[in-house]
A and B are shown apart, each in its own frame.
Chain A
Amino acid sequence: GAVVSQHPSWVICKSGTSVKIECRSLDFQATTMFWYRQFPKQSLMLMATSNEGSKATYEQGVEKDKFLINHASLTLSTLTVTSAHPEDSSFYICSAVPDRNQPQHFGDGTRLSIL
């Protein structure tokens, strides 16, 4: 149980393009989903927390207009990197929980490369 699917797993696009990443909980309803960013050889850094039906809560230093998060259903959250630039290249990982007292289960991540 507790399977989280993330799509796409890998994307390469030109600078200035907007990229959407999907995160789905396959066998449970996720009231809360989290979005992380991970640079090579580093730990996961939380970008934002999204609750179904409400606005996401962004961590300090994360631009909400740059990283748009939508959590329109209990099984789907999306992260859109708007007008992406090379410095946005990174490994983006989502996680989901049925309630916030439960352990987070992670997707397989999306490798984003901006040329």
Chain B
Amino acid sequence: GQQLNQSPQSMFIQEGEDVSMNCTSSSIFNTWLWYKQEPGEGPVLLIALYKAGELTSNGRLTAQFGITRKDSFLNISASIPSDVGIYFCAGQGGYGGSQGNLIFGKGTKLSVKP
């Protein structure tokens, strides 16, 4: 099925470093979501973006919805070991998918070295 282009696939960083990941799509979405998944668990919602150009923060996390509504980035500042996991972007609604259904990126696996 349709997927978002998420990059990078994986990141190995030192504790304290900042992290940036992004997603792009050929389709317009009404909503962009960022989730984090840890091994053996379901995804947990981090940030939801509803308006083009919207910049939203959640603690050390910041995400922006692109002006064209076809892309988004997620930044994590001053990473800590518990940031380890797989981060997924997801698009919802608009021309990219039927209402309510999510289209997922392939995920960015983050590893943090203490």
Give the bracket for the number of chain A residues in contact with chain B. 20 to 34
Q: Is B48 an interface residue (CB 8 A)?
A: yes
B106 close to A43 (CB less than 8 A)? yes
Please give, as numbers and ranges, the residues of chain B lying within 8 Å of A43 by CB-CB distance: 3, 88, 104-107
Q: Given A43-B105, A59-B1, A101-B93: A49 and B43 within 8 A (CB)?
A: no
Known: A43-B107, A101-B100. A106 touches B44 (CB 8 A): yes
**Cβ < 8 Å to B, chain A residues 93-115:** 93, 95, 97, 100-101, 103-109, 111
Known: A44-B43, A108-B42. A101 touches B104 (CB 8 A): no
* Known pairs A103-B33, A103-B48; A32 contacts B106 (CB<8 A): no
Q: Which one of A4, A45, A100, A106 contacts B100 once the chains associate, using CB atoms below 8 Å?
A: A100
* Interface flag for A46 (CB, 8 Å): yes
Is B102 among interface residues, defined by CB-CB distance under 8 A? yes
Most buried by B among A43, A95, A100: A43
0 or 1 for each of B29-45: is its CB under 8 Å from A? (1 = yes): 01101010000111111
Q: For A100, give its contact among B48, B99, B105 (CB under 8 Å).
A: B99
Who on chain A is nearest to B105 by CB? Answer: A43
* Cβ of A6 under 8 Å from chain B: yes
Chain B interface, number of residues (Cβ within 8 angstroms): 24
Inter-chain contacts of B93 with A (CB < 8 A): 101
**B residues touching A (Cβ–Cβ < 8 Å)?**
1, 3, 30-31, 33, 35, 40-45, 48, 88, 92-93, 99-102, 104-107
Which listed residue, B1, B40, B99, B107, touches A46 by the CB 8 Å rule?
Answer: B1
Q: Which 4 A-B pairs have the closest CB atoms?
A: A100-B100, A106-B42, A43-B104, A109-B42
- Give A37-73 as 1s and 0s: 1 = Cβ < 8 Å from B's Cβ atoms: 0000011111001000000000110000000000000
Taken together as a complex, chains A and B put the C-alpha atoms of A74 and B31 apart, in Å, by 24
A10→B41 CA distance, assembly (Å): 11
Other A-B contacts than A46-B1, A60-B1, 4 sampled, CB-CB below 8 A, are A44-B43, A49-B100, A101-B93, A107-B42
